[in-house]
Amino acid sequence: MKVLITGGAGFIGSHLSERYLDRGDEVYIMDDLSTGSIENIQHIKEHPKFTYYISSVINYQRTAELVDLCDVVYHLAAAVGVRLIVESPVKTIETNIRGTEIVLELAAKKRKRVLIASTSEVYGKRDHIPFREDDDLVLGPTNKGRWSYACSKAIDEFMAIAYWKEKRVPTVIARLFNTVGPRQTGRYGMVIPNFVTQALQGKEITVYGDGSQSRCFTHVADVVGALMKIIEHPEAVGEVYNIGSTQEVTIQQLAEKIKALTNSPSPIVFVPYEKAYEEGFEDMMRRVPDITKVNRLIGYAPQITLDEILLSVIDYQHSKLQERQVSPSALQF
């Protein structure tokens, strides 16, 4: 099978590429390296069945050629990370909406199967836990940048479903809940790589707000396994699936766990949201998926526990830090 992965040099895309190559498939990726990096694909760059293009999906001609060539398309290219979204709202909206529109329009020509990666952000500030795919979405006002991300991904979902209903393009939507693991960068504010790097460097571990907000973290290997099954499943077409873990942890507990696992002297400090992000920033207090639907479809249940996740990230960041000591310019977290 020929697989196209937009955003293939990103954290999730690189793991997905690796898994398809292991299976013997041909992988084509496009990435403009805005948040992805060559380092993520360094180990597969020379693989005979791997082809990469440093290109945005907005490059219509290139995207058209690749969509035509491939059997299935994963559309993972998007603006990600709350920090990036707050700081670059125009780019977020443009990338997310225009990129998806192009991919769907091109996939429609030959009815290629497309998986759109969406996010648990679309549930917004719903406070009824757990979140089910048919729940109402509760978004905040348009003057708060964060909501533009949720809204742009919701539009992507509407488009994907519309392309299925009206043009019979077999689309499927995966709402990902805090996917984490090796290769995720802390540069765009993601909490686990941030805390692990801080702990390993003996710097302050920065808990935003009072630390009582919680999340459920899923290892990227569990996510990628689910995506590969969903994209091929005939009953998944036109549907939305939550993919995540139901093991909830508060951010303060997370900081304590990471401090203990790394045996770090780092103090845990509390940073007000307006200092961490922007004035009036709204966080989600809890975010837990209902995974019944995806479990029924493919028997999905996450296998990797939070402690295992943290150990894998600590291991990864540790070796990166050591590399950096040898070559200080080689790395960015």
CB closer to ligand UDP out of 4 and 192: 192
Q: Which member of 207, 220, 224, 294 binds ligand UDP (CB under 6 A)?
A: 207
Question: At 167, phi and psi to the nearest 5?
Answer: -115, 5
Please tell me the distance from the alpha carbon of residue 102 to that of residue 63, in angstroms, as a whole number. Answer: 8
DSSP codes of every residue in 77-88: ----SHHHHHH-
User: Contact letters (x/-) for ligand UDP, 246-265, by CB under 6 A?
Assistant: -----x--------------
Q: Which residues pair with 216 in a beta bridge?
A: 248
Q: Does 213 bind ligand UDP (CB under 6 A)?
A: yes
Q: Is 191 in the site for ligand UDP (CB under 6 A)?
A: yes
At closest approach, how far in Å is the CB of 96 from ligand UDP? 15
Q: Of the candidates 189, 225, 244, 289, which one interacts with ligand UDP according to CB under 6 A? A: 189
What number of chain residues touch ligand UDP (CB under 6 A)?
13
Query: Is the CB of residue 80 less than 8 Å from the CB of residue 11?
Result: no
Closest contact distance (angstroms) between CB of 321 and ligand UDP is 17
Least CB distance to ligand UDP at residue 216 (A): 10
Decide whether 116 or 258 has the Cβ nearer to ligand UDP. Answer: 258
- In one-letter notation, the amino acid at residue 111 is R
Interface with ligand UDP, residue 82, by CB under 6 A: yes
Which of 215, 259, 293, 320 forms a contact with ligand UDP (CB under 6 A)? 215
Alpha-helical runs (H) found in the chain: 11-23, 38-41, 60-69, 82-87, 89-109, 146-167, 191-200, 220-232, 251-262, 273-276, 292-298, 306-326
Report if residue 208 touches ligand UDP, rule: CB under 6 A: yes
- Would residue 311 be called left, alpha or beta, if left means φ above 0 and alpha means ψ between -120 and 50 degrees? alpha
User: Least distance to ligand UDP from the beta carbon of 48, Å?
Assistant: 36
Q: Provide the token pair at 166.
A: 């009206």
Kindly indicate which of the ranges 9-17, 45-53, 205-213, 238-246 contains the residues binding ligand UDP, using the contact rule CB under 6 A.
205-213
* Residue 312: partners with Cβ closer than 8 Å, 6 or more residues away: 181, 182, 219, 304
- Measured distance between the N- and C-terminal CA atoms of the chain, rounded to whole angstroms: 34
300 labelled catalytic: no
Task: Give me the catalytic one of 149, 241, 277, 300.
Answer: 149
Tell me, rounded to whole angstroms, the distance of Cα 322 from its chain centroid: 26
Residue 123 burial by CB count (10 A; 0-12/13-18/19+): exposed, middle or buried?
A: buried
Binding flag, residue 122, ligand UDP (CB under 6 A): no
Using rule CB under 6 A, residue 78 touches ligand UDP: no
Contact (Cβ atoms closer than 8 angstroms) between residue 154 and residue 275: no
Considering only the stretches 52-60, 200-208, 227-235, 317-325, report the one whose residues sit in contact with ligand UDP under the rule CB under 6 A: 200-208
Choose the stretch contacting ligand UDP; rule: CB under 6 A; options: 20-28, 43-51, 167-175, 186-194: 186-194
Which positions are catalytic? 149
Which residues in this chain contact ligand UDP in the complex, by CB under 6 A?
82, 178, 189-191, 194, 206-208, 213, 215, 251, 283
